[in-house]
């Protein structure tokens, strides 16, 4: 019976420079550190939203830029100029989703369009 070695052959294992040359994308931070950075960004954005009295509906940290969903309020204008990026329909009729960048996060809300 022939045995198969499971030990890698050093010359066949590419090093980091070879992987970069091959175009393989690698995360710069380990996963837990990436989440720590995202959570810090969300914390800073939440402090700003709290200072303006804006409630939070949802937070999604499973994206490179965390997404914070807030309700539509007239005071959202204090955050800056929002950019519409999605249009659709729901029970209120036509809506558009607006977003703004805040402390490395996307803050978004829906607005009814007449």
Can you give the pTM of this predicted structure?
0.71
3-59 tens-digit pLDDT: 555 554 454 444 545 545 544 455 566 788 889 899 999 999 999 999 999 999 999
Nearest to 110 by CA among 79, 102, 92: 92
**Short-list 67, 62, 69, 68, CA closest to 35:** 62
* Strand 93-102 with 58-60, pairing: unpaired
Judging by beta carbons within 10 Å of its beta carbon (0-12, 13-18, 19+), is residue 35 exposed, middle or buried? middle
Which residue intervals of 11-98 are DSSP H helices? 16-22, 31-51
Nearest to 50 by CA among 103, 111, 93, 91: 103
Rounded to whole angstroms, the Cα distance separating 72 from 74 reads 7
């Amino acid at each position: 019976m022939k045995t198969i070695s499971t030990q890698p052959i050093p010359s066949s294992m590419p090093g980091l420079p070879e992987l970069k040359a091959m175009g393989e994308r690698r995360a710069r931070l380990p996963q837990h550190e990436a989440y720590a950075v995202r959570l810090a960004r969300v914390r800073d954005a939440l402090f700003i939203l709290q200072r303006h009295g804006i409630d939070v509906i949802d937070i999604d940290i499973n994206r490179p830029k965390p997404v914070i969903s807030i309700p539509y309020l007239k005071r959202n204008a204090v955050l800056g100029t929002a950019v519409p990026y999605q249009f659709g329909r729901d029970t209120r009729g036509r809506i558009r989703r607006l977003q703004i960048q805040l402390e490395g996060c996307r803050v978004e809300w829906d607005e009814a369009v007449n």
